[in-house]
Amino acid sequence: MIGETIKDFKITARLGKGGMGEVWVAEQQIVKTKVAIKLLLADVSHDKQHVQRFFNEAIAVSKIKHAGIVKIYDVGFHAGSAYLIMELLEGETLASRIRRAGRLPMGQVGDVGRQIASILDATHAAEITHRDLKPDNIFLVQDAELASGERVKILDFGIAKLGTATGLTGTGGSMGTPAYMAPEQWADSAKADARADVYSVGCVAFEMCCGRTPFVAASIPEAYTKHLNETPPRARSLAPEVPHELDEVIARALAKQPSGRPSMKELGAVFAAIGATRPGALAETQQATGAPLIRTPASQVTPHTTLGSAASSATVEPRPRRWMLAAFGGVAIVGAGVAIYAITQRGPDAAPSQTAVPTPPPVTKPAGTSTSRVAESNRWIPIMLPPTPIVLGVESDRVPATVRGFRPARKITSPTAPYELQYHEVTWSELEPWLASSRTPIDFPPWATDPVARASLPATGMTWSTALAYCRSLGGSLPTEEQWEYAARGAERRPNSWGAARLDRSLTNAYAGPNATPAAVRMSSQDQTAGPGETLFDLTGNVQEWTEGLWREDLPNADEAWVESGQTSIRAIRGLPLAVELSSAVQTEGAAYREQLCATGPCAEKGAALRRYVGFRCARPVPR
């Protein structure tokens, strides 16, 4: 594509690629204006519904008269693929800002909230409902004309509900991102009106104030239940600095009944009052994050594009960067025209826990260490998702109910958002430079005292918080249980990562007894994933691995309050155990095998002996 011309724009670089299309940088040949061109894949462009939703963005944007709307210059088809030519933005998403700063300063909450409300008020005046407002779709660009120094841009009108004047009202079914969806939106988004956007603004405002969404859920059914039935916490209960008037209007915005919510103008007025009493949003952010907001040179620009993922998520950044962005519709169509969305999981704010996790300092490269070689040695493998979500767990394979594993009664399904896993467990050679740079004490297990011998061994014994912090430094997180299990079992729901073959202890390092030690990664000729795509190693039979999620009982409706109490949290670990004797259960559990382990709090240190046999690998959203 580079060098090709669409209209009068010559394509100069690719920003990113996803499951539905690509985003390119192009330059007008006379005045040299740079734009973003979003190009649907040719096979996707044959689907009239996809193309209509794609062009809906242009229709919506053309009707809204506001500086906070991304400009779209042209639409059409090129070589059989639908395209949009649109404004190229430089800045960062609100999601990235929240990840970096945690709770935003109140002055910035007021300024950003005021602008969001103003843009959406103009959107609703044009008889358009956004229906997918979230921090990933809110972009912050520098603008010297505004007192705060930043302008808000709202992106991604691909699933917007357009007014009756256009004759386009969108597709029925649940559309949006669960963490920000209004209760009425879950039943039929086509019937949701502007008050659903008010609810989403309430969720976004809560997250700006508290560093997390009002409802933290580990699955779509859990999110559904909470949004429809549970009362959200008050923002002031998590962030006492939130003014009473802002706390009150956020609570009203999160009302279950649309009639109980304030208007967008009311929201905007409260945000404006908060911003007026606390000026200097940029200065406040710099003070709060301890990092200057000066953007990096153009040579270090990091592209950020949303490319048809089911739940958009930005890459975690260890320091502020300058971003170029062109948003691609965050929609995944699954099954008979029904859109199914995954919980937004953006790393730090995705874990279903309020337990504080230390944020590591930026990784520095020790002398003589090549970070590029480290990254290449444990590369990221895209996981091929099934065409429709599948039920995970042992019961779906018709094994006895007495066997442990995720139970379908919980509606545990495969991930719907594209993601990647590291193709083997994190090794000591990868982890040690980061531990040294972050000044994390290292307690090597007895088999890892020799620096040469341990280089290719999985790094075990790390606390859950340390493992999570390392993954975040790579722009990812620990995998959820669903991500881990689906990668091990695949769309065919194989019993083991390698398929249906019975465990061969001579080939797989599992159930090797109390004196067993981990094997080097990628050494097993059996423990390699089967099927299409690149191979993943050691998912089932070397060491067990931490996951992001809190422990959940196999059967639903059990009392699980004990898994997170005070500073204590219990997390799930996956993979067959190493330092125990062979059990008959292994033949039926396989990749569904799971255990619990104390992750944080006083019991974490007591579990250090068990952690000696627990390693980890990282997961991340598909880069865009």
Range of the domain at 18: 5-87
Mean pLDDT of 56-79: 81
- pLDDT tier for residue 160 given thresholds of 50, 70 and 90: low
Q: What are the DSSP E strand ranges found in 107-189? A: 138-142, 150-154
pLDDT for res 583:
65
pTM of the model: 0.48
282 shares its domain with 430: no
Q: How far is CA 621 from CA 18, 307, 348, 571, in A?
A: 11, 11, 13, 21
- pLDDT tier for residue 20 given thresholds of 50, 70 and 90: confident
- pLDDT tier for residue 463 given thresholds of 50, 70 and 90: very high
- pLDDT tier for residue 126 given thresholds of 50, 70 and 90: confident
pLDDT for res 410:
80
Kindly report which listed range (191-205, 265-279, 314-328) carries the lowest average pLDDT score.
314-328
Asked if residues 370 and 443 have their Cβ atoms less than 8 Å apart, the reply is no
Q: What is the CATH number of the domain that holds 141?
A: 1.10.510.10
Q: Structure tokens of 167?
A: 């004759």
297 shares its domain with 437: no
pLDDT for res 287:
42
Query: Which class for 169: exposed (0-12), middle (13-18), buried (19 or more C-beta within 10 A)?
Result: middle
Query: Which class for 221: exposed (0-12), middle (13-18), buried (19 or more C-beta within 10 A)?
Result: middle
Sequence-distant contacts of 298-301: CB under 8 A, at least 24 apart? 298/322, 301/90
Considering the candidates 111, 132, 197, 538, report the single residue annotated as catalytic: 132
Which of 62-71, 328-337, 487-496, 609-618 is modeled with the greatest confidence? 609-618
pLDDT for res 152:
94
Q: Which 3 state secondary structure label does DSSP give 379?
A: coil
Domain-terminating residue out of 61, 87, 113: 87
Question: What is the 8-class DSSP label of residue 623?
Answer: P
Give the DSSP H or E segment for 486: helix 481-489
- Per the domain annotation, does 444 fall within a domain? yes
Q: Structure tokens of 489?
A: 């079992």
161 shares its domain with 230: yes
Q: How many domains does the chain have?
A: 3
Q: Is the pLDDT of residue 413 over 80?
A: yes
259 or 18, higher pLDDT: 259
Q: Is the pLDDT of residue 270 over 70?
A: yes
Kindly report which listed range (124-133, 139-148, 286-295, 541-550) carries the lowest average pLDDT score.
286-295
Q: Is the pLDDT of residue 51 over 50?
A: yes
- Per the domain annotation, does 425 fall within a domain? yes
96 shares its domain with 67: no
101 shares its domain with 48: no
pLDDT for res 168:
34
299 shares its domain with 423: no
Active site residue 132: yes
pLDDT digits (tens, 9 = 90+) for 558-609: 888 889 988 899 999 999 998 888 765 555 678 888 999 999 988 877 778 8
Strands of the sheet with 619-621, listed across from one edge: 380-382, 419-422, 619-621
Q: Is the pLDDT of residue 246 over 80?
A: yes
